[in-house]
Structure 1
Amino acid sequence: MMGLPFFRTPEIETPAEIEAASLRSDRFRLQRQVDWQRLDSIVTALENGRPRRISDEDLLDLPVLYRKTASGLAVARETSLDAATLAYLEALVQRAWFQVYGPRMGFTGWLRRFVGGGWSAAVRAIWLDICIALAVMAAGTLVGWLLVSREPDWFYALVPGGMAGGRTPGAGAAALRESLGTKPGSDGLSIFAASLFSNNTGVAIMAFALGFAFGVPTLLLLLYNMALLGAMLWVFADAGLGWEFAAWLSVHGTTELGAIMLAGAAGLHVGRTMAFPGDRSILAAMQAAGVRAAQVMAGCTIMLIVAGVLEGYVRQLVGDAAARAAIGTGMLLFWLGYFILSRPPRERET
């Protein structure tokens, strides 16, 4: 609390010393108790959510009363006043500190403000990094497709065996089509989907965390991750099931891959700011970039949760390719609409 030093009350041995200390404590309390009681009443009204009961004069004097009481606490510790006075002042100063310097809103209020425009504003602020991340992801998908189409052995270098689950170059169309279904009890692409979701969650975290290295590892990670997806897409397209696989993936993929793109853009934003701080110092530029990137990453967490629900439930319940594509397209339009149209509320003038 306030970082004030701890003072150990010395032992008082004679009755005269006890009486003198008591008088000193009483005098100290009487000189200041009016301010303490006033501060206590103001803090109590604020804690009970009744600010209207506080007069304008009291509200304006709150910081002054807090500082005077904190100063009184320091004096009380130095002059060895009684334990009851010290305990009361310590509790009062702590309560007043939260009202003067503490957060102005709780978690619910912060979440409402964050979802209501704070997140979208942070995303729009890094639009250039998003464009770069999107271009790299598109290039990665194309690279994976071209590598496997020209040399199928590249598939095994790009896609881990546990994730592929038998869906490899040369697999029959019937087996691949069956894996896209929703038949109860069959694993279908559940192993691949779970592995892909786990992989993409890790990629989102790593893409952001590696941004400090001027964004280069982030770009390489996005490139490789999408090359993996491009390789798998070629396997299904080669069997004449490219549309079905794209529709299957879109149910949760537009949300999941969108989260990866934003996470990569957030990491790239940090790295790019370190490399090109502009007129500001590197520390000041990093501080501003870190706040924006952290907001974007907090929103990515929400997107990954939504993607998990879509993958675990919606995709398993909807088997028609057109319906799956409609859901995926709908989610894409939803996120685009949110990030473009959602604006943070204006600050009220005081």
Structure 2
Amino acid sequence: MRETEFIDQNKEKWRSLEQMEADRTKDPEKLSRLFIEATNDLSYSKSYYSNRSIRVYLNNLALKVHSSVYRNRQSTWARIKKLWTEQIPRAYFESRRSVLLSFLIFFAGVFIGVFSAHQDPGFIGLMLGEDYIAMTMQNIEEGKPFGVYASDSHMNLFAYITLNNIRVSFVVFVLGLFFMIGTVGALLQNGAMLGAFHYMFYEQGLLGDSLITVWMHGMPEISAIILAGAAGLELGKGLVFTNSYSRKESFLLGAKKGVLMIIGLIPVFFFAGFIEGFATRYTQMPDAIRILFIVLCGLFMISYFVIMPWRRFKGVYRSSVAEEQIPDSAEHDYRLHGIKKHGQIFSDTFALFSSTFSQYILPAMYIATAYVAALWMATREDFIERFSLPYVPDLGSFFTGMARAFVKVDQLYDLASSPVLWLLNGTIAALIIWMGLRQLGTAFAQEREYVRPVRSIPLLLWVWGVTMLAHVLFFLPAPYSVILMLLGAPVLLYAALSGFLPRPGGLGYSHVLQIAMRHGYGRLLGLVTVLFLCCCLFLLFFNSGLTDYLLSVIWGGFRMSEETFQSVMLMSNIFFTVWSLLMVIPLFIYASFFSFWSAYEIETASHLHASVDRIGIRNKAYGILREEMD
């Protein structure tokens, strides 16, 4: 067979194989079939075209696909083993100074708690709550000072304690985003609570019993908080001390190392919850056994998180474990062309959001400040009554905090009671969406086939109109409005985006929207749902009890009437609620942008056609068609 006939006969399947490898779309059966056929073609070319470039081309193609498929083909157990025996211990070894600093800060907090409780009896109530103290004193009078650990079923207490441990450690870690200051404050606060707790039992002559009882589960639990604090310090250190990296690269390194450290604590959270739920309540257990258990837990924590990392990795690595997990260049390849899976769009969305996050902080603050001022002017006669937080039942720390955050948002979206909220909410949402589109225009300014120059006023008016229409849904009762907004979010996002996108192939607005809805609705709906859950955590963080506490400390230092204090606290809470909502809206804009171009590729296959055309050019470069030219 002539070489040209061989190429013409097989080039389509080579194109398909090359496309699958380039776009990382792995249909296992099809990929396996095409790969086997390509290797057969390679064998044939070695026999009949050994000195022709077609052999070189097929050899390179086979090597590329083989490398792509098998480079990460490591058994699941091997990857798990590497994570727990190498990556996590190495992260703790590299963060050993942060671990030591976190330990010292926490026990400085314990000392502060003990000293303050000794100086001021009211300090214990401030730290632990008057209700908890009253319950504990009642238990002491009844002869069961630690009855709180037997007040619920084993499983309920296990679930509650585990979730609470995860929440506390997560907060301690994430507060590192505030340049380490937040993590330091959280460690001091938790240490002060522990010190005040033990001092309360010391006053009742029960210090020894409290130490043994609490530290049975406290050894893994408190160790986890300290180690989460070390992870938070690493996270913040990436923002403060950049060394030779850009701030973004330094933050990514700190974040990846911190996440590895938190992953290492997951079994500890469950173990501590299990001990507190099933073992701590048995206070009649001999003290010697309980002390032995505490010592064994302490030895395990020190062995795995301190001694093993030191002995294994001292002097072994020059680079950080996190450096091996990010590319040499921190630039993210968004690859707007091609069909993407949910995970790829999700990754692109957060990569772009992380690189533009700082661009929204101050504008969102200005918008939130103007919103609060306009809201107060519109409702000043009954401002306190309307926006005071109603009673939220105790559902556990995490769920109570989430319920409080949702109640705050619901108050701002009760459009039926105050139509002015419709105008305010729609306007500020339109402003931040417009900013998100402008950021897209800036990020992809060199790729005019995917974005077009932003005409500020026309685009803003278009987005404002779409947003105001969307906010009509919030005139419905809360459950219905939230469900309809989630289901309608892809339509509204694509509609807002259609005023910004170029007109590929001369398509009109309606045709662009049809393509997006036909191939991208389900994809974007899934992404919106996941992003909504992520945003709930973000909203919870900025509307937690810690925020209320910090605000009360800040404003409590000023002399003002009770009514003024309530108004200022409400304004501050509304500010943080609105600001946190504004900060997450760009996530949805970015997700809809990447989702649209994936849907467009499904509809038109334009990139696939272009890739096929380029194969011919590439083949000529390899000299495959030299025979024809001759």
**CA pair 282-212 structure 1, distance change in 2 beyond 3 A:** same
Structure 1 segments (4+ residues) deviating >6 Å: 24-27, 32-38, 60-63, 188-196
* 2:109 counterpart (115, 140, 150): 140
Point out the more displaced range, 186-195 or 267-276. 186-195
Does 1:241 pair with 2:211?
Answer: no
Q: 1:141 to 1:193 in 2, by over 3 A?
A: farther
Q: Aligned residue for 1:283? A: 248
Per the TM alignment, residue 288 of structure 1 is displaced from its structure 2 partner at its CA by 2.0
**1:204–1:293 CA distance, 2 compared to 1 (3 A):** same
Aligned pairs (5 A) from 1:276-315: 276-315=241-280
Correspondence for 2:231:
266
For the residue of structure 1 that corresponds to 2:135, the secondary structure is coil
Q: 1:296 to 1:330 in 2, by over 3 A?
A: same
Q: Which runs of 5+ in 1 are unaligned?
A: 1-23, 44-59, 69-92
Matched residue, 1:122: 91
Provide the residue aligned with 1:108 in structure 2.
77
Between the aligned partners of 1:193 and 1:147, the Cα distance in structure 2 is 32
Higher relative contact order (CA 8 A, sep 6+): 1
Q: RMSD in angstroms over aligned alpha carbons? A: 3.9
- 1:155 to 2:124 alignment: yes
Separation (CA, whole Å) in 2 of partners of 1:332 and 1:309: 16
Q: Distance in 2 between matches of 1:190 and 1:236?
A: 27
Note the C-alpha offset of 1:194: 8.0
Q: Is the 8 A contact 2:110 2:191 kept in 1?
A: yes
Length-normalised TM-score, structure 1: 0.66
* Aligned mates of 1:134, 1:295 — CA distance in 2: 19
Q: Distance in 2 between matches of 1:281 and 1:209?
A: 21
Give the counterpart of 1:336 among 302, 308, 311: 302
* In the alignment, structure 1 residue 321 sits paired with structure 2 residue 321: no
1:163 to partner: Cα distance: 4.5
Task: For residue 331 of structure 1, report the CA deviation from its aligned partner.
Answer: 0.5
The amino acid of 2:198's aligned partner reads L
The structure-2 alpha-carbon separation of the partners of 1:200 and 1:67, relative to structure 1 and needing over 3 Å to count, comes to same
Deviates further, 152-161 or 227-236: 152-161
Per-residue deviation, residues 173-211 of structure 1 (Å, max 9, x unmatched): 554x5133699x756999999876654432210111111
| 1:150-299 paired onto structure 2 within 5 Å | 150-161=119-130, 163-164=132-133, 166-168=135-137, 173-175=140-142, 178-180=144-146, 198-299=163-264
2:114–2:192 CA contact under 8 A, matched in 1? yes
Query: Are 2:238 and 2:255, in contact at CA under 8 Å, matched by a contact in 1?
Result: no
Q: Secondary structure at the match of 1:178?
A: coil
CA pair 135-27 structure 1, distance change in 2 beyond 3 A:
closer
Aligned-partner residue type, residue 334 of structure 1: F
Choose which of 30, 36, 40 in structure 1 pairs with 2:36: 40
| 1:27 Cα offset (Å) | 6.9
Change beyond 3 A, Cα 1:25–1:255: farther
Q: Does 1:64 align with 2:60?
A: yes
Aligned to 1:99: 69
How far, CA to CA, are the matches of 1:164 and 1:29 in structure 2? 84
Judging changes above 3 Å, is the alpha-carbon distance between structure 1 residues 119 and 334 closer, same or farther for their aligned structure 2 residues?
A: same
Question: How many aligned residue pairs are there?
Answer: 276
Once the 2 structures are TM-superposed, how far is the Cα of residue 64 of structure 1 from its aligned partner? 2.2
Deviations 1:218-275 (A, max 9, x none): 1101111121111111111111211111111111111111111111111111212211
Closer, same or farther: CA 240–212 of 1 in aligned 2, 3 Å: same
Relative to the length of structure 2, the TM-score reads 0.39
Q: Distance in 2 between matches of 1:114 and 1:165?
A: 46
| Runs (5+) with no aligned partner, structure 2 | 18-32, 40-55, 318-630
- Cα separation, 1, equivalents of 2:153 and 2:115: 26
